[in-house]
Structure 1
Amino acid sequence: MSTPALPRVLVIGLDPYRVPGPWDPAPVAEATATGLARFVDAGIGVASCLVGLDGSDDIEAVVTKALRSRSWEVVVVGGGIRKPDDQLELFERIINCVHRHAPQAAIAFNSTPTDTLDAAARWLDAPG
């Protein structure tokens, strides 16, 4: 039996079940799970830090705790945080948290939940 790979990559994204609005979060949750499974298949350790927009999180505290939990080689910031114009301030706060608490980590950005490994692999010495 193999031991899970030590986490090298932290993925920061939105918890689709805690994003308000009239939409179905299941497809995004499934795509996120698929994207994270690609890391396992590639033998690359990964951890995720999902935050909600429903007011239940102190987002900076949650992100800071994840960033401080270990040394990260790459931090991937998900498109749900990066893309919507109305999330610009949140995006800036998260990037500044990464800058403060994981200055040694490369920062990467995915386009979809399923290409998260590709985003991290650009900065890792690993297959994508």
Structure 2
Amino acid sequence: MNRPRVLLVGLASSAVDYDKWPDLSVEKLEAAFEQVASEAASAGFDARWCLTDTSETAPQQLKQDLLDYSPDIVLIGAGVRTDPDLLLLFERMINVISHVCPASKIAFNSSPFDTIEAIQRWAR
């Protein structure tokens, strides 16, 4: 049985504006990346990260990762989705996903702590 492929999309730790997230640090974020990947594997998913910056190249990076990986589910993290300054980036990412992988389900978490639940909603 194939494990569902999940592309986890988020901001690279170097691209995060930590002034907007005062309880977050590079170390905490990178630990969360590792924890999510480990939990996804334990839950039976083949998951990998697509960590982007916030520049014009981010949608192209996402497109390439989608083409290379062909995920069943794409999860876009709260860091991209909830920052009003990143609305255009989020919108562009949704359009890239729907164009490149129209059969992929799209999931959203509210924090790293509910990522597996967000993936599982669409893996059934």
Identity of aligned residues (%): 32
How many corresponding residue pairs?
119
1:17-75 Cα offsets, whole Å, 9 max, x none, are 2324556221121122111110111121111100023x5x7111100001111322110
Q: Give the ranges of 4+ consecutive aligned residues of structure 1 lying more than 6 Å apart after TM superposition.
A: none
Which range moved further: 70-79 or 96-105? Answer: 70-79
CA contact under 8 A between 1:36 and 1:116: conserved in structure 2?
no
Is structure 2 residue 75 aligned with structure 1 residue 71?
Answer: no
Aligned to 1:50: 51
**TM-score by structure 2 length?**
0.86
Q: Which runs of 5+ in 2 are unaligned?
A: none
Match for 2:42: what amino acid?
Answer: D
**TM-score by structure 1 length?**
0.83
1:14 to 4, 11, 16: 11
Q: How far apart are the structure 1 equivalents of 2:88 and 2:113? A: 25
Q: Equivalences for 1:1-128 in 2 at 5 Å?
A: 8-21=5-18, 24-53=25-54, 55=55, 58-125=57-124
More helix by share: 2
1:114 to partner: Cα distance: 2.8
